[in-house]
Amino acid sequence: MAAAPVWSVDPRTGKQREQVAVEATAQEVDAAVRAAHAARDALADRTVRAAFLRSAADELKAAESTLVEVADAETALGPVRLTGELARTCYQLRAFADIVDEGEYLGVVVNHPDDTATPPIPDLRRYKVPLGVVAVYSASNFPFAFSVPGGDTASALAAGCPVVVKAHPDHPALSELVAKVLRRAAARHGIPDGVLGLVHGFEAGVELIKHPLVAAAGFTGSVRGGRALFDAAAARPVPIPFHGELGSLNPVVVTEAAAAERAEAIGAGLAGSMTLGVGQFCVKPGLVLVPAGDAGDGLVKSLTDAVSATDAGVLLDHRMRDNFVAGVAERAALPDVDSPVTPGAGGEHTVSPGFLTVPAARLADGGEHDLLLEECFGPVTVVARYADEGEVRGVLSRLPGNLTATVQLSAEEAAGESAGAAALLAEVTPLAGRVLVNGWPTGVAVAAAQQHGGPYPATTSTSTSVGGTAIERWLRPVAYQGVPEALLPVELRDDNPLGLPRRFNGVLER
């Protein structure tokens, strides 16, 4: 049987643009993984690895106009958004190059023998080594930052792990172009093409997670798809780490005092956040707890005005559009659910933003209204009106894990003059990996302190996929005991010829 073609599709029209590849067979997946496995030694030198990452950023920047044009044709995300996303991606690659140069991520610890300790301490030296080939599953909504050149790829390469990417079907042409750019950067440093493999097709993704030479995987996508791969990773004869970002509601709690103080600003800010990128951000606020009464009414009016003034937009593909239209219709049909601005089909190829309101007590009770506690991908949010703090606690107690949780406080509450504000923060902290006060979750800074990951189903692990510590996902610690100095890895020798940050006999050296 001939391999199925892979087409690039214009989401603005639903029409095929061009055939860019064919779906990979099991044999082709095997070849890609084996080529990546063979490229491990080429990444062993940290200096070469850092230079490769910087060259990758340079090559991407040099190809910016072509890449953005193709990305926009396949995603309809617009040149401004995509140019910014590409800049973020280049910054991320350079940031990981700096981390590799610095070497602190290796976690070097040296303990000399100590016979006076109880029990005695032998000569022990510990650091981290790369896991091996990493499978990366691209996301639809960030064709640069969470796709072929994105955070999973950048952090894996920084760790010294070759990568095989399963391309997302929504931007296959861009994936092919970016892979060529990254391989060109690799070639500048004598690194073989196999360091970055690329395969297309659903079955190829399944074969990839099963391959015995794949040592770990990173995924960003749906709960259904991510859970299937997570289970497959665990069911292997040798299970592997699976770092998946699956889905998030990203709750927001607006206190009564905050709503009374700045209802208009909060409503406008919420509208901007929930419609940003046509509601296709993984950190879109999907559930907002707003007080009943006049203060909450003012916020809802502000939200109504702002969302009503927001144009219809194009989702990443027509399947997502169909799911959005069906999803909001099913939610709007539930008892006691109103639609101040009705979300849904905006045209043959577009969707209109909107929001739903519901009494918070309905969500605390469970039953059919649990549907409102599930992510709906697209420009919609659910505003739950609460009568008292007990209803807020009741809803929060029923939420699954999230990437983010946001609290909107008054100036007095934010100044620490209210015990209730501290209690509310303590209540939302177990729900999410990132907790915000008086901000909006859309926008994930690439920074050392970032945490982009939360309790399941937001992610399948406690690690982050954004920021410097994302590199830790692809490393494992090894301790050497009683190994002669001449046989030790150079990173662990007493004279520290590489000048690495380390803890030496209990003393932190930088």
| Residue reference for tokens 């890609």 | 32
Q: Which residues are CB-contacts of 280 (< 8 A; sequence separation ≥ 6)?
A: 140, 141, 315, 316, 320, 377, 378
The span from the CA of 360 to the CA of 212, in Å, is 48
Helix axes of 26-38 and 202-210: crossing angle, nearest 10 degrees: 50
335 preceded by a cis bond (ω within 30 of 0): no
Q: 282, 443 in Cβ contact below 8 A?
A: no
Q: 366, 398 in Cβ contact below 8 A?
A: yes
The span from the CA of 104 to the CA of 308, in Å, is 50
Q: Which residues are CB-contacts of 91 (< 8 A; sequence separation ≥ 6)?
A: 57, 446
**SS3 readout for 429-446:** HHHEEEEEECCCCCCCCC
Beta strands in 83-201 (DSSP E): 108-111, 124-130, 133-137, 163-166, 196-199
Residue 325 sits at the vertex; the CA angle it makes with 323 and 327, to the nearest 5 degrees, is 65
**163-166/133-137 β-pairing:** parallel
**432-437/108-111 β-pairing:** unpaired
Helices (H), 103-222: 151-159, 172-187, 202-210
Active-site pick, 282, 391, 413, 491: 282
Q: Could you count the other beta carbons within 10 Å of the beta carbon of residue 388? A: 13
Active-site pick, 74, 207, 245, 256: 245
Q: Which of 279, 274, 258 is CA-nearest to residue 438?
A: 258
| DSSP category for residue 208 | H
CA quadruple 435, 437, 443, 449: dihedral sign: negative
The span from the CA of 320 to the CA of 327, in Å, is 10
Active site residue 412: no
Q: 290, 50 in Cβ contact below 8 A?
A: no
The span from the CA of 460 to the CA of 366, in Å, is 25
Active site residue 376: no
Q: Which residues are catalytic?
A: 245, 282
